[in-house]
Amino acid sequence: MAWWAWLLVQSVVWCSAGVVAVLWWLWVTKPHVDIPGPPTLPIIGNALDFLEHPVTVNKIRDFHRQYGDLLRFYAGPKLVVLAAHPDDIQHVMVTSKIVERDPLTTSAMRSFVGDGLLTLNGSRWKTHRKLINPTFHSELHGNFLEAFHEGSLYLSELLATDSAGGAAPADVHAAAFSSAMRSFCIASIGVDPDRLIPDISKHEVSAVMRRIIVLMQTMMVRPWRRSLSLLRLSSEGRAILMYYAHLRKSVDEVIALRSAATEEGPAKMRRRLLETLVKPGGQTAIPLSEVQDELMTMAVTATDTTAMLMSYTLALLALHPDWQDAARRELKDVFGEGGDYLRSPSLAELASLRVLESIIKETLRLFPVVPMLPRILTEDIRLSGGRVLVPKGTILYVAPFLTHRLPQFFPDPLKFDPSRFLEGRSGEEHPCSYLPFGLGSRNCVGSQYARLEIKVFLATVLRRFRFLPHSRWEDLENSVLSITLHTFKPIEVYCVPLQESGL
């Protein structure tokens, strides 16, 4: 063998041995916890358990059944814990006030939305949150209402067209996503949606969104797939990049529009999102790049969550006609049966829709569209009634998608039964057994906005259509576990038009 070949072989052997030695050292010095979980292999931990991709909700449910309410995995040497029991959740979120999101999740999301509320931690997160909280204040709900009503009429049109008079099933996410985007443009940006929304078919946008959600999970589980440049290599990836570029362009356009204004307009107690972030003349409340990222963050969070919640709700109502009838009876009681039955609802009318509210709550119990709350432990904490020490640095996922189906808190947990929320909660109440919008200071900034929007959307479409099932319960259960919950197949229902009086 030539001397240089020998040298090459020796270098490769020694480098590989060095890498293995470091990985082995990381493995043997990894944190140990007394929490059950699937068996591990040296160095790679539980990687083989997650070879099948994307990871489904059902897969984690199986682990939960096998190992219990507190379970652990190792991503290589990194300790990952899943907490489902409300006592542990209370300890993490309320007692220890752990608010920092974990680096696995934030770096996957950062590829798409940059530095916004979803991805920031520490003092920059606090600054953004302080700025953005007031843009969802209840004083703005009156303005939101108009925007949501407009979105709901658009949704009705899309469902009617897609469903061809009830003859074909309509893809709810596709219609609800575009409608929620319209409402967001009006409510939070204050710009005519027709000027901004890219000319891409709603089905394409919805499919791209589903791919982005799966991709985010890929990026979390396989960090080497994090680069957006890799996406150029596939047609799916190029579709994602195209939509992403459209959204970025729209964000730059709205910032330019607002910057071009010369006056603030009438003095108001509360300003909308864009008005808060950018002043006339172009001065910004936070660095311009963070304004762009925050608008991207909001555009994504305000639309996909609502669209998935609409999808699950309409599918469940189609599968449970008794509850659909109960909701419609309530709408008739509130809106009367006269000529103005289809009018835009007032805040007071919406507040009186208790059946509808309990239907939304029960849907979010079964299908919390934000299924996991990712955290990094910034201090050691004791869980399982103080018996288990979980060390600082652990990635901990609070898992509402498991908590919401614990039978001791929600008897007969797989049953769609909105009456649980009608007369107060049945079962053992616990302050942390139901958390669809999170808890504490890192809860959902748009929770009131979302609740109002979904109620307006439902109140509008339930007065116009009867929904019949196409997607089955199993289709709803077959979901990808990612930043938001997404079914593998689009959720579809038949929308049969009702007469003006709702009959």
Residues in contact with ligand HEM by the rule CB under 6 A: 101, 117-118, 129, 297-298, 301-302, 305-306, 309, 369-370, 373, 436-438, 442-446, 449-450
Measured distance CA(244)–CA(252) in Å, rounded: 12
- Minimum CB separation of residue 6 from ligand HEM in Å reads 54
- Minimum CB separation of residue 113 from ligand HEM in Å reads 9
Tokens, residue 326: 């109960």
Q: 258 vs 451, which CB is nearer to ligand HEM?
A: 451
Provide the β-strand partners of residue 82: 71, 397
- Minimum CB separation of residue 155 from ligand HEM in Å reads 15
- Minimum CB separation of residue 333 from ligand HEM in Å reads 26
Q: 101 vs 486, which CB is nearer to ligand HEM?
A: 101
Q: 160 vs 395, which CB is nearer to ligand HEM?
A: 395
- Minimum CB separation of residue 432 from ligand HEM in Å reads 12
User: In the block, which residue shows the tokens 């910034």?
Assistant: 378
Measured distance CA(324)–CA(144) in Å, rounded: 26
- Minimum CB separation of residue 109 from ligand HEM in Å reads 10
- Minimum CB separation of residue 136 from ligand HEM in Å reads 7
Measured distance CA(259)–CA(253) in Å, rounded: 10
Amino acid of residue 380: D
Q: Which DSSP letter does residue 444 get?
A: -
CB 151 within 8 A of CB 179: yes
Q: 101 vs 420, which CB is nearer to ligand HEM?
A: 101
Dihedral over Cα of 67, 69, 74, 75: its sign: positive
Helices 172-184 and 202-221, axial angle in degrees (round to 10): 90
Amino acid of residue 201: S
Q: 231 vs 491, which CB is nearer to ligand HEM?
A: 491
- Minimum CB separation of residue 345 from ligand HEM in Å reads 18
Q: 471 vs 484, which CB is nearer to ligand HEM?
A: 484
- Minimum CB separation of residue 89 from ligand HEM in Å reads 11
* DSSP code string of 96-113: S---PPPHHHHHHHHHHH
Q: 323 vs 437, which CB is nearer to ligand HEM?
A: 437
Q: 127 vs 478, which CB is nearer to ligand HEM?
A: 127
* Contacts (Cβ under 8 Å, ≥6 apart) of 296: 112, 113, 114, 116, 247, 248, 251
- Minimum CB separation of residue 341 from ligand HEM in Å reads 27
Q: 160 vs 189, which CB is nearer to ligand HEM?
A: 189
CB 480 within 8 A of CB 486: yes
Q: Which of 142, 141, 145, 143 is nearest to 153 (CA)?
A: 145
Q: Which of 105, 75, 72 is nearest to 484 (CA)?
A: 105
Count the Cβ atoms, other than its own, within 10 Å of residue 463.
Answer: 22
Q: 113 vs 160, which CB is nearer to ligand HEM?
A: 113
Q: Which of 455, 407, 457 is nearest to 433 (CA)?
A: 407
Count the Cβ atoms, other than its own, within 10 Å of residue 338.
Answer: 9
Q: 298 vs 491, which CB is nearer to ligand HEM?
A: 298
- Minimum CB separation of residue 114 from ligand HEM in Å reads 13
What residue number has its CB nearest to ligand HEM? Answer: 446
CB 76 within 8 A of CB 86: no
- Minimum CB separation of residue 363 from ligand HEM in Å reads 9
**Strand 395-398 to 78-83 pairing:** parallel
Q: Omega into 321 within 30° of 0, i.e. cis?
A: no
Q: 129 vs 332, which CB is nearer to ligand HEM?
A: 129
SS (H, E, C) 224-269: HHCCHHHHHHCHHHHHHHHHHHHHHHHHHHHHHHHHHCCCCCCCCC
